[in-house]
Amino acid sequence: MKRRTFVRNGMWVSSGLLVPALARAQGAPASPAAARSAPAVRAQTGGAAGVIQVKGTSPYEITRRAVAELGGMNQFVSRGDVVMVKPNIGWNRTTEQAACTHPEVLRAVIELAFAAGAKKVVVMDNTCHKAEDCYQRSGIEAMARRAGAEVRFSDENRLVLHDFKGEFLGKWPVYRDHLEVDKFINVPILKHHGSSGLTIAMKNLFGILGGNRGKLHRDMGENIADLANGFRSHLVVVDAWRVLVRNGPVGGRLSDVEERRTVIASPQIMHADVAAAALFGRDARQVEFLQAAHERGMGEIDIAKIALKSLSA
């Protein structure tokens, strides 16, 4: 009889223990203690920050080469840093379908970050399809783990309001993981996108946002520019190994994918995007969000005015 009483009482006690938990869940969310202040972020505009474009035979090798040409990962990551490496894992698609960042490009970036002394590398995204499916099918979760990174899912309980202080985009919920790291490396894939024309590094920052992101499609170009202007990417590495040239951003058909065997790297997000747009065959001036970014003084929109170094490895 004692055992039974114990179990029965135990059930009451444990349900009582849940009360504080429930009470806490009702309470106010943690204040947006943003580790990174927005004004400092705005300082990233500026002249002709270099862009490296490398074409080659291995996505891993050309990524390493591109970062080396920028002066090495030590330029961007300091010893002891916690580094966020933010790929595009938006869709439940394979590497061949080119809707998500190539895992080999990601592996190179993670390894370089560790080699530069990073204490921890985190990989995550706020996906469009079911997160577990995207992480698995894209091959990114397995590769990132193997390279030693910590793979996280975006957790609603970790959303905080962040003020982007933009013309269109003000306060918006952000997964605080992205605010709590020391360095943010933006590793998008270059592809076609129906409503924004292209998706590259600036658009990739949608993945740090929570909330009803669909609402941001109303003035998509302006919002993307505000987003990229209000949140700093310390380094941008654009995967253009395979490029989805039609029916993006989700794609699916291999006939819509072209091999470009290229990686573009730059510490200047606007210039990386302008160069990637050129590689795609688009004049940046025709791309709404790049036009909007240019108007905000985020960088040159004329590819001719950007110090672009192209090489083959």
Partner 1 sequence: MDRRTGRLLQRARILSQIIFTVLFFLLLVRSGGGDAARLPWAGLFFYFDPLFLWVSLLAGPFLRIFLLALAPLLLTLLLGRFFCGWICPLGAMNQFFTWLGARRGQRRMPVARKPLRLKYLLLAALLVASLFTVQLLGWIDPFSLLTRSAATVILPGANALLQQALLAGPEPLYELGRRVLLTVTQRSFLQAAGIGVIFLGLLLLNLHRRRFFCNYLCPLGALYGLLGRWSLLRLAINDKCRSCNACAAHCTYYGSPFKDYLKSECVLCFNCVSDCPEAAIDLRFGLPVSGRRPALDLGRRRLLGASAVGLAAAALPLIAPARSARTHSFLRPPGAVGEKEFLEKCIRCGACLQACPTNALQPAVFQAGLEGVWTPVLVPTSGYCEYECHRCTQVCPTHALARLTLEEKKQFKIGTAVIDRSACYTYADGYNCAVCEEHCPVPEKAIRFREVEVHDFRGRLRRVRQIYVVPDLCIGCGICESVCPRSDIPAIRVGAEEEQREIPYG
Binding site for partner 1 (CB under 8 A): 1, 4, 7-8, 17-18, 20-22, 24-25, 92-93, 128-133, 137, 153, 155, 157, 193-195, 212-215, 217-220, 247, 249-253, 256
Q: CB of 124 within 8 A of CB of 152?
A: yes
- Of the two residues 36 and 129, which places its CB atom closer to partner 1 in the complex? 129
Helix (H, G, I), strand (E, B) or coil at 46: coil
Residue 216 CB, nearest approach to partner 1 (Å): 8
Smallest distance from partner 1 to CB 104, Å: 22
Q: Which amino acid does the sequence have at 163?
A: D
**CB of residue 260 vs partner 1: minimum separation in angstroms?**
20
d(CA 115, CA 108): 10
| Dist. CA 298–CA 227, nearest whole Å | 12
User: What DSSP designation does 306 have?
Assistant: S
Of 39 and 214, the one with the shorter C-beta distance to partner 1 is 214
| Shortest Å distance, C-beta 147 to partner 1 | 18
Q: Which of 126, 78, 32, 103 is nearest to 235 (CA)?
A: 78
Task: Give the residue ranges of DSSP H helices in the chain.
Answer: 2-26, 38-41, 59-69, 103-115, 131-137, 140-146, 177-180, 201-204, 220-229, 269-280, 288-295
Distance, in Å, from the CA atom of 134 to the CA atom of 128, rounded to the nearest integer, reads 9
Q: How far is the CB of 280 from partner 1 (least distance, A)?
A: 17
Nearest residue (CB) to partner 1, 3 versus 79 = 3
Q: How far is the CB of 83 from partner 1 (least distance, A)?
A: 18
Please identify, using beta-carbon distances, which residue of 195 and 310 lies nearer to partner 1.
195
Which is closer to partner 1, CB of 132 or CB of 295? Answer: 132
Q: Are 117 and 182 in contact (CB under 8 A)?
A: no
Report the residue number, 253 or 309, with the smaller CB distance to partner 1: 253
